[in-house]
Amino acid sequence: MKFRMPLGRHVLVFTASAAVCLGADQPAVTPLPDDPACTADDRRFIARTFELARESTAKGDGGHGAILVKDGKILLEFQSATVSMQDLTKHGETGLISLASRTFGPSGFEGATLYTSEEPCIMCCGSIRAAGIHRMVYGVTAVQAHLVGGHPLPVHPIQCREVYERLDYPIEVRGPLMEKEGLQLTAEHAARQKAAHGAQ
Ligand SMILES: [Zn+2]
């Protein structure tokens, strides 16, 4: 059985047969299938972003990870650090781009791919565009993470692909990839946040 969730001009198609429950107090969310255009290297690098996300959660931070890859090699890594750096703009992607800018200069982004554990928010989409990155791969779909985290969806959620379409910015976007594993991390992060701050 399938059902569809309209998202602006896009539609997510869920396959109910693959539904999983990620925790006793978490809603059951069906992981979306992998983007078939993703490669074995893409899987390997997304797995690394999940490791960074787990480390970020363990430190009480935002629970996201991002890496910059060129020619099959990791140039830089960044864990979201909004808490530890006391900087709300230090998401995985923005933190990575800020660090890479200072490390390599603008030319460091030429031909690079940005991998991120979760589909980037609008702020991070902007930073990716500002950096001139033209390939990005994400693990977990943002609306899926919202659901697992127990957050209500916006009335009109927007996906990163639509952001770039509206900006007319040329970028190859791949994802979701390994969403089931990524959503389990999201559930762990949500449980930790709940334990730290109590039920909101
Ligand atoms: Zn962000």
Summarize pLDDT for 84-110 with one digit per residue, the tens.
999 999 999 999 999 999 999 999 999
Centroid of ligand 1 to alpha carbon of 121 (angstroms): 4
Centroid of ligand 1 to alpha carbon of 1 (angstroms): 33
Residue 2 is predicted with a pLDDT of 47
What is the C-alpha separation between 80 and 64, in angstroms, rounded? Answer: 5
Q: Are strands 2-7 and 10-15 parallel, antiparallel or unpaired?
A: antiparallel
Centroid of ligand 1 to alpha carbon of 77 (angstroms): 15
Centroid of ligand 1 to alpha carbon of 117 (angstroms): 11
Q: What is the pLDDT of residues 112-154, one digit of tens each?
A: 999 999 999 999 999 999 999 999 999 999 999 999 988 888 8
Q: How many CB atoms lie within 10 A of CB 22?
A: 21
Query: Would the pLDDT of 12 be above 80?
Result: no
Q: How far is CA 127 from CA 93, 108, 121, 133, 148, in A?
A: 8, 14, 10, 9, 26
**Predicted TM-score (pTM) of this structure:** 0.88
The pLDDT confidence band at residue 197, using thresholds 50, 70 and 90, is confident
Nearest residue to 25 (alpha-carbon basis) of 190, 197, 196 = 190
Q: What is the mean pLDDT of residues 22-47?
A: 88
Centroid of ligand 1 to alpha carbon of 145 (angstroms): 13
Q: Are 77 and 52 in contact (CB under 8 A)?
A: yes
- Three-state secondary-structure class, residue 68: strand
Q: What is the mean pLDDT of residues 48-54?
A: 98
Centroid of ligand 1 to alpha carbon of 17 (angstroms): 31
Centroid of ligand 1 to alpha carbon of 153 (angstroms): 16
Handedness of CA 35, 89, 8, 132 (dihedral sign): negative
Query: Would the pLDDT of 67 be above 50?
Result: yes
